[in-house]
Structure 1
Amino acid sequence: MEGIAFSPSKDFNFYSKIHANPTPLPIKTLTLTRIPFRFHNHGHQKQPLLSFSLDPTKSTQTPITQPPPLVVVGSANADIYVEIDRLPAEGETISAKNGQTLAGGKGANQATCGAKLSYPTYFLGQVGDDAHGKLITQALGNRGVRLEYLKSLGGGVPTGHAVVMLQSDGQNSIIIVGGANMSSWPDKLSDQDLDVVKKAGIVLLQREIPDFVNIQVAKAARSAGVTVIMDAGGMDAPIPEELLNFVDIFSPNESELGRLTGMPTENFEQISQAAEKCHKMGVKQVLVKLGAKGSALFIEGDEPIRQSIIPAAQVVDTTGAGDTFTASFAVALVEGKSKKECLRFAAAAASLCVQVKGAIPSMPDRKSVLNLLQSE
């Protein structure tokens, strides 16, 4: 297939649509040269990209570039919500006020957050070939997540799901069934999967998929100089030292930090000491989510950077707030913001998240986050 390359002469004006400055950019008369189109794969469609040459004696092609994407490797769940006044006591049966099934899972949540913040985001994960898998795929796709690396498993493997018990004060308790998130992963990830990891700006991991998968991804990212952020949420089990050695920023909440270090985390001094233990375990930066007390980033050798919460008008549902915080921090970081700015951006996103029911439905868009920051 052929296209056209443009070379200049002095009688033609071209008005650029990609520059913010509306002043016409003078470009000269066009000389036409036939060149082949180059195709880049964007999802299931192949789209032609035109190449422009300003020197008619040369055939140099200027590639159209995009920022390095956020790549999220992790879990996708169907979240089965039940709204209750309180948790049942042992042996007790209570009635729920309402119930519904929504797309969720830490990996899917974080990928959705990245995409809704208008940053190019890929999700690498697994779902079953069932109704829950279709629910998740549609929810992610509708919100702009790139799904070329999301696999649908046959053989009766169910999509992961979770029972979310949402109490009237907005707090929740969650029970997870791993399903496709924890089974049928290949012993060795494909070169195609690892290639998108190596081309990322930042890679986000969580602990709702097997450790051996996270290790492969983290190693591939480190080999390419890609920053790895690992959310500690998921399995309540020790994290392999081999994995921590390839993590650049480790992000637990205060209870996860306490369990993983075996140390108390009831006040900031104790949290600081637990973060120091993480440094000794091989992680140079520890991003701790502190709920109503805000957040703190502990960088080895530096003073902690603290961020208070940005108060929400009302707390409807805290599900997904931690994922929103971590993913928003990652987006701000890959865009080049300072660590302090990243914390503030993430605090604003999390504040908006808790005001809406559901995980994926509650992820805020970029305009809403920026508006909240400007109003502070």
Structure 2
Amino acid sequence: MKSLTRFPGSPALSHHHRRRPHQLPSCSIPKRRPIHASVPSPPPASSPSASPYPSLTAQQQNNVKPMVVVGSANADIYVEIDRLPMVGETISARTGQTLAGGKGANQACCGGKLAHPTYFVGQVGDDAHGRLIEEALEGGGVLLGHLSRVPAAPTGHAVVMLQPDGQNSIIIVGGANMCCWPERLPEKDLEVVRRAGVLLLQREIPDSVNIQVAEAAKSAGVPVILDAGGMEGPIPLELLNFVDVFSPNEIELARLTGLPTETFEQLSQAVKKCYEMGVEQVLVKLGGKGSALFIKGDEPIKQPVIEASKVLDTTGAGDTFTAAFAVALVEGKTRKECLRFAAAAASLCVQVKGAIPSMPERSAVVKLLQSV
């Protein structure tokens, strides 16, 4: 993959924004502890269904490589409002509830519900929100051997302001997602990445963590997908050089390249900057306009949106799309099939409130694809 070249006039990607990986706040790293055993032991040969968590070895014997998601886990505090408050104004919410979420946990749960073996590497606090997330992930079929509790920091959380048309505004508090990571990840976490079929990353954890796992994946020939959602700052050059598929939405693409993305021609020009960065596949999420996969040297593959019968909540739709694309990719589908599979999953997601609760099961996605 080509190395990044600099772009005059593009502050988000300029040489002056080249920065070292985040310096992580110090805390009691020895107290960081896994919730379950690192890699679940294979069940006895006489009882193949004894454990709900098959080991990586057992999976690979059946030629099934897992998806590994490294990222954030949040407690999403939902408030349903008629409109956003103005500066200095207090308004009342119609309802409020707390649900499991976070881009990493969302994408991992999507993989689990799509019936693909999925591991999640992340951190939660030793608190009620952390237990809420653990239960949601486990209920979604996610393998939790690499999820750790960090008593020194609270579980990350987000305030999701949901409007009547299903659109949302979100404020994130990083908590355990952004601090108390060890300077060097445990070898067990890096090994699960090296043995994956695909690695899925986002930007709600420190860049230094993403760089470590992306480098481990690249060294083992594991494709790396980076969802651009999360931090607003420039993406470190070290991380971009390990990425195979870069997946921004149109707003993120505009911010990171300094170019407009309102028309397809403008999108194409912005994507060219990503090519110059060394990323040869760019998966752009376009909301109601669908999606497009740009592959350097080829014609873009466009995927129209698969219309939802109703739109209740767009929270998690982008995460569902990216994770479903990754699942289809590791299962050997063509790029066009991957886009269609992801579009169907996202269409089902927006019809249910909440992030993790809205992740569709595989049977529902297959049924929808058969009907369109």
Normalised TM-score (structure 1): 0.84
Aligned twin of 1:19? none
- Residue 190 of structure 1: how far off its partner (Å): 1.1
Structure 2 Cα separation of the partners of residues 190 and 66 of structure 1 = 26
Aligned twin of 1:354? 350
Give the number of the structure whose residues are more often strand, by fraction: 1
Is 1:295 matched up with 2:288? no
Aligned twin of 1:184? 180
Task: Give 3-state SS (helix, strand or coil) of 2:228's partner.
Answer: strand
Q: In the TM superposition, what whole-angstrom CA distance separates every residue of 1:176-225 from its partner, at most 9, and x where no partner exists?
A: 00000000001111111100000000000000000000000000000000
The correspondence of residues 24-39 of structure 1 with structure 2, limited to 5 A, is none
Task: Give 3-state SS (helix, strand or coil) of 1:115's partner.
Answer: helix
Q: In the TM superposition, what whole-angstrom CA distance separates every residue of 1:9-44 from its partner, at most 9, and x where no partner exists?
A: xxxxxxxxxxxxxxxxxxxxxxxxxxxxxxxx8966
Amino acid at match of 1:83: E
Aligned twin of 2:224? 228
- Residue 330 of structure 1: how far off its partner (Å): 0.3
Amino acid at match of 1:161: H
**Structure 1 residue corresponding to 2:200, chosen from 193, 198, 204:** 204
Structure 2 Cα separation of the partners of residues 140 and 71 of structure 1 = 13
Is 1:81 matched up with 2:70? no
Aligned twin of 1:134? 131
Aligned twin of 1:256? 252
- Residue 64 of structure 1: how far off its partner (Å): 4.2
Structure 2 Cα separation of the partners of residues 127 and 368 of structure 1 = 30
Aligned twin of 1:283? 279
Amino acid at match of 1:294: G
Structure 1: state its 5+ residue gaps. Answer: 1-40, 52-62
Q: 8 Å contact 2:68–2:200 — kept in the other structure?
A: yes
Aligned twin of 1:308? 304
Task: Give 3-state SS (helix, strand or coil) of 1:322's partner.
Answer: helix
Structure 1 Cα separation of the partners of residues 285 and 42 of structure 2 = 41
Aligned twin of 2:239? 243
Aligned twin of 2:65? 68
Is 1:273 matched up with 2:281? no
RMSD: 1.4
Q: 8 Å contact 2:38–2:188 — kept in the other structure?
A: no
Structure 2 Cα separation of the partners of residues 273 and 186 of structure 1 = 39
Structure 1 Cα separation of the partners of residues 63 and 294 of structure 2 = 31
Q: 1:250 to 1:314 in 2, by over 3 A?
A: same
Structure 2 Cα separation of the partners of residues 335 and 354 of structure 1 = 24
Q: 8 Å contact 2:202–2:227 — kept in the other structure?
A: yes
Task: Give 3-state SS (helix, strand or coil) of 2:271's partner.
Answer: helix
- Residue 66 of structure 1: how far off its partner (Å): 4.7
Aligned twin of 1:108? 105
- Residue 47 of structure 1: how far off its partner (Å): 1.6
- Residue 65 of structure 1: how far off its partner (Å): 3.0
Q: 8 Å contact 2:108–2:119 — kept in the other structure?
A: yes
Structure 2: state its 5+ residue gaps. Answer: 1-36, 48-59
Aligned twin of 2:121? 124
Task: Give 3-state SS (helix, strand or coil) of 1:364's partner.
Answer: coil
Structure 2 Cα separation of the partners of residues 212 and 353 of structure 1 = 31
Structure 1 Cα separation of the partners of residues 208 and 318 of structure 2 = 24
Amino acid at match of 1:92: E
Q: 8 Å contact 2:190–2:213 — kept in the other structure?
A: yes
- Residue 281 of structure 1: how far off its partner (Å): 0.8
Give the number of the structure whose residues are more often helix, by fraction: 2
Structure 1 Cα separation of the partners of residues 77 and 192 of structure 2 = 31
Identity rate of aligned residues, in percent?
72
- Residue 49 of structure 1: how far off its partner (Å): 2.4
Structure 2 Cα separation of the partners of residues 42 and 75 of structure 1 = 18
Task: Give 3-state SS (helix, strand or coil) of 2:72's partner.
Answer: coil
Amino acid at match of 2:132: L
**Structure 2 residue corresponding to 1:158, chosen from 148, 154, 158:** 154
Q: 8 Å contact 2:76–2:102 — kept in the other structure?
A: yes
- Residue 143 of structure 1: how far off its partner (Å): 1.2
Structure 2 Cα separation of the partners of residues 65 and 368 of structure 1 = 25
Higher alpha-carbon Rg: 1
Q: 1:42 to 1:125 in 2, by over 3 A?
A: closer
Q: 8 Å contact 2:38–2:146 — kept in the other structure?
A: no
Moved over 6 A (4+): none
Structure 1 Cα separation of the partners of residues 270 and 248 of structure 2 = 11
Report how many aligned residue pairs link the two structures. 324
